[in-house]
Structure 1
């Protein structure tokens, strides 16, 4: 097996920023974005998604949309409670257009290896569920995942 952590150090994180936005406004300005983060991991593994959806968009496409108003910042551990995300979506701003695949229902999700690159050590250390499911996904792709919770 190949070492994912070694690959991650070489490839880097394609995600530049992430923040909460109004979900209706996001769909109006940037319809059809692929699922990313925990929402994509939910579609590719047994992880249960958050109460909000996470999407990915390139910096250039986001800028061309006229911009999205930040409604909240991401923090680990989360500062907002589960119900506080009502009507919001989490948007990830990527360096380039995120590569995608279709899940078993035909929904566009970020390609698994690129998805894995977006998870920080801080997130993986905080959320055992994500670490475990990401480890399973990577092992299925032939990668050893050293940061996985056991």
Structure 2
């Protein structure tokens, strides 16, 4: 095998690999019904059709718990986009009006690895600010420069 042929073969295999790049799987924190987000150190790998989520619930005893993990991409992105684009309907992250006990008082998704390790309302605010500044891809809920 000559040097030129070997280089051509290497270039062709590199070009082929570049055409078939597989996205890096999204990793998310994964804990259920915890009182302190900083206690969650479990990380899971999502399926390609999933994004990270964090949800905050207030129970009957006024104890707030959070859950986080992977969620189906399209319904989660749609709900989060609505929340981001219609902030006037929300007060501190919840829809204005009577809230049913046991329902999520905040639920939001994000599309970058390990993005769901913050309080739900804070993540919603951050995503809204990134969107207003043009740094949030609403189709994937991921950061863009």
Where on the TM-score scale, by shorter chain, does this alignment land: which range? under 0.3
Give the structure-1-normalised TM-score: 0.24
Q: Which has the higher strand share?
A: 2
Higher relative contact order structure (alpha carbons within 8 Å, sequence separation ≥ 6): 1
Q: Which has the larger radius of gyration?
A: 2
